Amino acid sequence: QVQLVESGGGLVQPGGSLRLSCAASGSIFSTYAMDWHRQAPGQPRDLVAAITNGGSTKYADSVKGRFTISRDNARNTLYLQMNSLKPEDTAVYYCHGERATTLGIYHYWGQGTQVTVSS
């Protein structure tokens, strides 16, 4: 099955930056639409940024202008560059991939990585 392995989370001060990576295995990465979700304690899991297999991107209003999603199909890797981080960005960040077929859409999730923004 498809496996998504995340890295890059950690503790950073407000205004700082982090880059999350998500390495995919067991699939043809270039055929998948990919995105990042995040979930803060007591909150629902929300979409942060998305990128199609064609390279089109979308962002949640709360992160637009600060976060950048990208993909390197040659390395089977998804990235989330996070700049100007705020305490409200603190959450567990999840890598997610989906592949549409003629019979339905298949979903895959990473294990999540903690991002903490605090002084």
The pLDDT tens digits for 36-53 are: 999 999 999 999 999 998
CA–CA dist 34, 43 (Å, integer): 22
CA–CA dist 16, 91 (Å, integer): 15
CA–CA dist 32, 54 (Å, integer): 9
Distance of CA 53 to the CA centre of its chain: 14
pLDDT on residue 101:
85
pLDDT on residue 110:
96
Which amino acid is it at 101? Answer: T
pLDDT on residue 29:
79
pLDDT on residue 30:
80
User: Which ranges of the chain have pLDDT less than 70?
Assistant: 27
Which amino acid is it at 16? Answer: G
pLDDT on residue 31:
81
